[in-house]
Chain A
Amino acid sequence: MSQSPDDPDVAGPRQRHVEMGVAAFMMLLGAITIFGSLKVGIGWGAEGPKSGFFPFWIGLLIVATSGVNFVWAYTKPNRKLFAEWGQIAQVLKIVWPMTVYVAAVPWLGIYVSSALLIIGFMRWLGRYSWPLVLGIGLGLQVIIYVTFEKWFLLSLPKGPLEDLLGL
């Protein structure tokens, strides 16, 4: 963050390009809102304004304001970096394990997935010793199990391992 943006060693996507992307994506969301509103009707019905009336105008405002944001980002001669590639790699180190985790929860249950996430993360990024990694990874699952299932009587998703253990 401290290096100057023009430093040739520091590379990464430009802030304005990302801003343009975000604005364009929001315009798309606005367009979807308008489209969906038109499908249910934006006029005046038997019970007053139809279901699409309010979201239609909301969608128009999203498209209009995002359009302005897009143009501003496009015209602003700003060479500031959004982030360095190294920083983005850091962020991805958490995004992809999280994606796998989210996908795994319905199959493995939340306990096994969470234990794997914590153990994998601590071992991979923190390089902690196995006893500590396993202690925290598994210990937290026990705490969660007791707190949620026994104390507050909330059932969390379970997978094959829990079936095997008969929990």
Chain B
Amino acid sequence: MESIGDLMGGFAVVLSWQNLLYMVVGIVLGVIIGVLPGLGGANGVAILLPLTFSMSPTSAIILLSCIYWGALFGGAITSILFNIPGEPWSVATTFDGHPMAQNGKAGEALTAAFTSSFVGALFAVIVITLAAPLVASFALQFGPAEKFSVFFLAFCSFVGMGKEPPTKTIAAMMLGFALAAVGTDTVTGQLRLTFGSTELLGGFDFLIAVIGLFGIGEILLTMEEGLSFKGKATGINPAVVLQTWKELPRYWVTSLRSCLIGCWMGITPAGATPASFMSYGIAKRASKNGDKFGTGEIEGVIAPETAAHAAGTSALLPMLSLGVPGSPTAAVLLGGLLIWGLQPGPLLFVEQKEFVWGLIASMYLGNVVGLVVVLTMVPFFAAILRVPFAIIAPVILVICAIGAYTVHNNSFDVVMMLVFGIAGYFLKKCNYPLAPLVLAIVLGDKAEEAFRQSLLISQGSLGVFWSSGLVATIMSLGLIALFWPFLSNLYGKVLTPALRK
């Protein structure tokens, strides 16, 4: 097993006092980010990215990925104690987590949530350790057509698996591609879509878009709802933790199933949110206590939390090995790699071995550190949520503005952030998904380059995307994903009556 040896090398890189410190700082910041409204994983990482420009890439990715793990953990705290999902993927956790807290079992619910998160993440990291090098070495042989087909599959998955209407998903996604096209054409170097504006020469930076769409947009939504936080007491102590841990192994089937759902949904970029809902739904149907779900069943906490973390973590697999991020936060991390001068994709495993395996090793350690930090510091994090919104809101706005400014040291970016924020508010309220929009801004240039290079090879014939078995298979999977809502509808309409007869 070559990868085990590489992983050990990775641990050697990570195990320095400095990196361990970054890990703890990252997790604590991440949980705070996850707990606060208006700051999420993607947005928090985007704001802090400029601070890492002067750090070594390995330390930087450890800090930022730990913020991501922290944010994943943080979502559970607000869901269970306050019935407010801090992150979209923790919505399903509120269904049973908050009733548990109301029944005075907040400690059990939190312990179950954190432990499940840890299990899900650990499972996904093991999958990454074993599968990522294989996927990467396989992808090394990819030509432009194969590369484009992978992008195609990734984007089609959003259309098929999202709960939003397909035309809205496509519209949002295409808007992202259009924004990515503004500025210098990466293939020919020609300027386009700038309409003579000097501000648009550099194009739209996705970090600004992320801070605006997810940060400012979220604050506006929170403001509209006029939230007042009313939380339950935590009451978490070592006895409760141990008691819950004794109980958890009973639900190993739910855990394992949730891990698999999560990994699948994370690798195909459907993301943590649908994974958590799907896992909750299946657990409800499969459990013999299914009818009690929603009243405070511990299984109803285990299922979504395990799947959300497995998905969130495994989203890094395609990011590292193919250069296609599986979630908005993974997209921001990918942007970070580019800024630090690393090229994400299969070559990363060959050229930047130390970096890749350092990152993977840090995922193991980061999640252990994360579990310890959240279990011991829950009351502190819950106290943050009790700070009134009139104080939190302007502070977050200022932090977002500084984050947007530092990306390019440009005041115009702060203006763009506000524009994206207001756009995000309207898009969110009108049920447009933001994740494909952001991913399209990140991947737009690369997808276009692959598409145009493929056409150049084939002299303009689209047949190049069906020219070999591999590329044809990936493209066909993409088409199936694209038309999935239509196909499943058809299946339901045509086959169900036929079977009834």
Interface set of A (CB-CB < 8 Å, partner B): 1, 15, 18-19, 22-23, 26, 29-30, 32-33, 36-37, 39-40, 44-45, 47-55, 58-59, 61-62, 65-66, 68-69, 72, 82-83, 87-88, 90-91, 93-95, 98-99, 101-102, 105-106, 110, 114, 117-118, 121-122, 125-126, 128, 136, 140, 144, 148, 152-157
Contact = CB atoms under 8 A, between A and B. Distances in A.
Contact of B171 (A26, A101, A156): A26
20 contacts: A26-B175, A29-B178, A37-B192, A40-B191, A48-B452, A53-B452, A58-B177, A61-B171, A68-B167, A69-B168, A94-B219, A102-B414, A105-B414, A106-B411, A121-B393, A122-B391, A125-B390, A126-B390, A140-B398, A157-B411
Contact of B395 (A50, A52, A118): A118
Contacts of A144: 398, 402
Interface string B47-58: 000110010000
A36 to B, nearest CB: 4
B181 interface: yes
B457 to A, nearest CB: 9
Contact of B402 (A48, A49, A58, A110): A110
The 7 closest A-B pairs by CB, nearest first: A126-B390, A48-B456, A36-B193, A121-B394, A51-B185, A55-B181, A65-B171
Main secondary structure of the interface of A (DSSP, over half): helix
A36 B195 contact: yes
Interface string B380-394: 000000001011011
Contacts of A68: 167
Contacts of A54: 177, 181, 448, 451-452
B418 A98 contact: yes
B384 to A, nearest CB: 14
B495 interface: no
Contacts of A110: 401-402, 405
Contacts of A72: 165, 167
Contact of B406 (A29, A122, A154): A154
Contacts of B397: 94, 98, 101, 117
B207 to A, nearest CB: 14
Contacts of A90: 223-224, 226
A87 B226 contact: yes
